[in-house]
């Protein structure tokens, strides 16, 4: 028994020759680009602004209607009237986020930590052995906005003296700004330095220039 194949209609040959596969590929590319590259991104941004407006906008902090920083980013302060953040290998530059990338066995790292520890001890009037580690070491990203409660507590006497406040007032303010571990499980108790300094300003204003030349 012989089976004969039906001839392909001429219209089909014409359709194939006219570039139908190419048009399909272009259409799929456009749908993917507009759907996943634009619509999805806009939906995600919109959902973030709707559900988490403060976080989606960069967690910005304002004073007197002016943005003074972000609660997610450390910034330097100069003057005895401020709590100090951790040291930064990036000099608090958002465009140069980095740690020192030095191993613990690196003698240069050990020497730098000892220099930083001695500088903090001299600034706070304490023994170098009592300086918390986070005040002598740099964070991995260079802009960690938090310090440990111990690192903030060691600065209370200096800040209170510079602001003309009773140390107990500053300790109470510090205690009110200690953040618990996330969900009570993740991380350690911590203090956001910028938020603490803004609260300190509200308690006892001080016009102290920062390294950038602003007043905080």
CA 87 to CA 143: how far, in whole Å?
A: 9
Between 155 and 65, residue with greater pLDDT: 155
What are the C-alpha distances in Å from 35 to residues 25, 29, 56, 145?
15, 10, 22, 37
pLDDT, one tens digit per residue, over 162-208 is: 999 999 999 999 999 999 998 888 889 999 999 999 999 988 776 54
CB 143 within 8 A of CB 173: no
Residue 129's pLDDT is 94
């Amino acid at each position: 028994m012989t089976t004969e194949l039906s001839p392909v209609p001429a219209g089909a040959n014409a359709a194939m020759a006219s570039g139908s596969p190419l048009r399909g590929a272009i259409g799929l590319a456009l749908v993917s680009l507009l759907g996943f590259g634009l619509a999805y991104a806009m939906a995600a941004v919109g959902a973030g602004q709707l559900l988490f407006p403060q976080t989606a906008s960069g967690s910005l902090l304002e004073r007197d209607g002016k943005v003074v920083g972000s609660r997610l980013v450390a910034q330097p302060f100069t003057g005895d009237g401020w709590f100090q953040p951790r040291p930064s290998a990036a000099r608090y530059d958002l465009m140069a986020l980095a740690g020192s990338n030095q191993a613990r066995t690196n003698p240069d790292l050990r020497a730098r930590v000892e220099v930083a520890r001695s500088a903090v001890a001299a600034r706070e009037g304490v023994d170098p052995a009592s300086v918390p580690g986070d005040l002598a070491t740099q964070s991995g990203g260079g802009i960690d906005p938090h310090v440990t409660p111990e690192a903030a507590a060691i600065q209370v006497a200096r800040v209170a003296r510079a602001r003309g406040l009773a140390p107990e007032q500053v300790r109470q303010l510090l205690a009110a700004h200690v953040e618990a571990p996330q969900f009570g499980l993740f991380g350690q108790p911590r203090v956001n330095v910028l938020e603490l300094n803004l609260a300190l300003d509200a308690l006892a204003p001080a016009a102290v220039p920062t390294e950038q030349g602003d007043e905080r």
